Chains A and B, each alone.
Chain A
């Protein structure tokens, strides 16, 4: 098990272009999360999936953002018409049910994709 994998690690794009990031969660983890982290701040929740279903979306996730997890395994996060304010680290995490109560109590994070919009 190699942990949560995110690609690319870095992306520089021109304003107005579309970008897509990929996240491969830990095998058999049923939940997958996307967070955004700007410089000097803690991560902010964007959205999460349980298997292929997108169960929650933050108000931060504008209509230019879309996330998918088509087969309940890897996920993609697409940003359309990028803006300079989209520059951030995009973190993916995954979790699975553990413990006697079968709850998702620990999220494992990937190394993130750093997006720079110029």
Chain B
């Protein structure tokens, strides 16, 4: 069975500071891992994904994440926060068969302080 735990429902950072959003997963099969961003009253936009291959994946808007199998983690980082990064971020996991039936974490709300 697949599940995701996002540590910290709220994270606040100063503009220009490092962003680190934590995600740990549980999966009975080799996982596909995703980070999505959601702005108020909007759908979800894919930031990045890990399927196979390189464990450090780069996404849109300067975000990246590293798949660490030994730690069952897929933490999201960005070197320098921008005001426009303020949003809700969701980590998700699916089985080897692809994007079907994504299991989402409960989300982390990122606040950027000017």
Which A residues are closer than 8 A to B by beta carbons? 4, 6, 31, 33, 35, 40-45, 48, 55-56, 58, 91, 93, 95, 99, 103-112, 114
B104 touches A48 (CB 8 A): no
B99 touches A106 (CB 8 A): yes
Given A109-B45, A111-B42, A114-B41, is A45 in contact with B107 using a C-beta cutoff of 8 Å?
A: no
Residues of B close to A93: CB separation below 8 A: 44
| A33 to B103 Cα, complex, angstroms | 13
A111 touches B43 (CB 8 A): yes
Range, interface on chain B: 20 to 34
A45 touches B51 (CB 8 A): no
Residues of A close to B97: CB separation below 8 A: 103
Cβ of B102 < 8 Å from any Cβ of A? yes
B 56-73 binary contact with A (CB < 8 Å = 1; else 0): 000000000000000000
A45 touches B103 (CB 8 A): yes
B104 touches which of A40, A43, A55, A112 (Cβ 8 Å):
A43
Cβ of B84 < 8 Å from any Cβ of A? no
B99 touches A107 (CB 8 A): yes
Q: Which residues of chain B (62-114) have a CB below 8 Å from chain A?
A: 90, 92, 97-107
